[in-house]
Copies of this chain bind each other. A is one copy, B any other.
Amino acid sequence: MAMANAFSADDARKLDAAERALIERRARVLGPAYRLFYERPVHLVRGEGVWLFDEQGRRYLDAYNNVASMGHSHPRVVEAIASQLAVLNTHTRYIHDRILDYAEALVATMPRELSQVMFTCTGSEANDLAVRIARHLTGGTGIIATAHAYHGLSCAVSEFSPSLGSGVPLGPHVRTVPAPDADRGPGGDVGARFAQGVQAAIDDLVRHGIKPAMLIVDTIFSSDGVVADPAGFLQPAVAAIRKAGGLFVADEVQPGFGRTGDAMWGFQRHGLVPDMVSMGKPMGNGYPIAGLVCRPEVIEDFGRKARYFNTFGGNAVAASAGLAVLGIIRDEGLVANAREVGLVLRDGIRALAARHPAIGDVRGAGLFIGADLVRDSTPREPAPELATRLVNGLRERGVLISSSGPHANVLKIRPPLVFSRDNAQTLLAALEEALATI
């Protein structure tokens, strides 16, 4: 399956000679596994706050990047990293205070049951570690994930990341379940329906002699097309996996750190306490830091028998970056900002949908928004080609978003958390213009 919003070599004719030369260099030295965004890829040289600048000085409103959640090149993060780099950057087998300050500040944002953290460099590593721990604790190997989930790129994690497409096989111990669907399903209770899928997956694993180890979900279902409501719908599914002896892992790599606007963590919207919580992307505002927060009883035996050492994970520089990010979220009121500006955006897109039948359902929480592009038919069908045209139309108008979902027809709008009401109006105006042309 082709990646949504990927540049294709067929589009090279739209580029100027300099851009083509850069893309040829990429193909020569980076090889065929890399992908670029957009029909006309963007050549960036600078970022500041919500703005990115290309080599011709043109600026783009960033409504897509959830790594630079504090804004591009946030001076407080830059300073925290640079000053610690100049002093000390070693690993966790020496004592250093900063990692403890950070670890304590991080778990303080969680329910008290989640009190221990292990640091990695990437969200993939965090989810991979969750698998090792779940296998060790449960003695099982079965993993349940949603039908179009993305949890990472390691061998083990790519085996339960079906959104990578048919070129990346799922593991024989993996079962996928339909993502919760608050809108298109045939009535009834979203939570009960999702839990039925999870229970069927558990039954099928057991029927094949595979003991369930864990259910993992991205708590805002990013790759499944963004599903946020009704808050609380995850509870019956979590009860089902626990009853089967498995663990519940909340993948907060995308929804975490305040993005959903209701709380620091996506799982908190659902009123539950996971067994493990993985996190990454915005954690260091671009510095490679990620982690796994656990209930102590979940890692006690693993920790004693298996040990864990990640060379760069949780070093003094990573901890400094992480502390700066937590400080910015607090001091700049970014959770509340995500809630308020997210509402402006969703209301604005819904208002456009009233005049443009190509926009179907609009979902999300805080600054994570999904909007379906649909064909004007009954029942309304996914329209991926409209999403592609809109994403590229916005790029040409200086606004960066992307598309996603199992049918690649969902606009994925996920700006830095410092996005302002003015930025939201800019995006909405560009969206209206672009809608008029598709």
- Which single residue of chain B is at the shortest CB-CB distance from A5? B93
A23 at the interface (CB under 8 A from B): yes
- Which single residue of chain B is at the shortest CB-CB distance from A124? B125
- Which single residue of chain B is at the shortest CB-CB distance from A7? B93
> Contact: B107 with A33, CB < 8 Å?
no
> Contact: A286 with B299, CB < 8 Å?
no
Closest-CB distance, A437 to chain B (whole angstroms)? 24
> Which residues from chain B contact A168 at a C-beta distance below 8 Å?
305-306
A85 at the interface (CB under 8 A from B): yes
A103 at the interface (CB under 8 A from B): yes
Give A287-316 as 1s and 0s: 1 = Cβ < 8 Å from B's Cβ atoms. Answer: 111000010100110111111111111110
Within 8 A of B (CB), among A71-87: 72-73, 75, 77-78, 81-82, 85-87
> Contact: B164 with A307, CB < 8 Å?
yes
> Contact: B44 with A96, CB < 8 Å?
yes
> Contact: B95 with A153, CB < 8 Å?
no
A354 at the interface (CB under 8 A from B): no
A380 at the interface (CB under 8 A from B): no
> Contact: B95 with A44, CB < 8 Å?
yes
A308 touching B90 in the complex, CB below 8 Å, given contacts A22-B95, A81-B82: no
A270 at the interface (CB under 8 A from B): no
A411 at the interface (CB under 8 A from B): no
Which segment, of A111-119, A218-226, A358-366, faces chain B? Answer: A111-119
Which of B29, B95, B318 is in CB contact (< 8 Å) with A100?
Answer: B29
Q: How far is the CA of A29 from the CA of B124 in the complex (A)?
A: 22
A121 touching B288 in the complex, CB below 8 Å, given contacts A26-B95, A30-B103, A73-B87: yes
A306 touching B164 in the complex, CB below 8 Å, given contacts A117-B30, A122-B312: yes
A331 at the interface (CB under 8 A from B): no
A309 touching B43 in the complex, CB below 8 Å, given contacts A100-B22, A103-B29: no
Binding site for B on A (CB under 8 A): 3, 19, 22-23, 25-26, 28-37, 41-47, 52, 65, 67-68, 72-73, 75, 77-78, 81-82, 85-97, 99-100, 103-104, 107, 115-118, 121-125, 128-129, 131-132, 153-158, 164-165, 167-168, 280-281, 286-289, 294, 296, 299-300, 302-315, 317-318
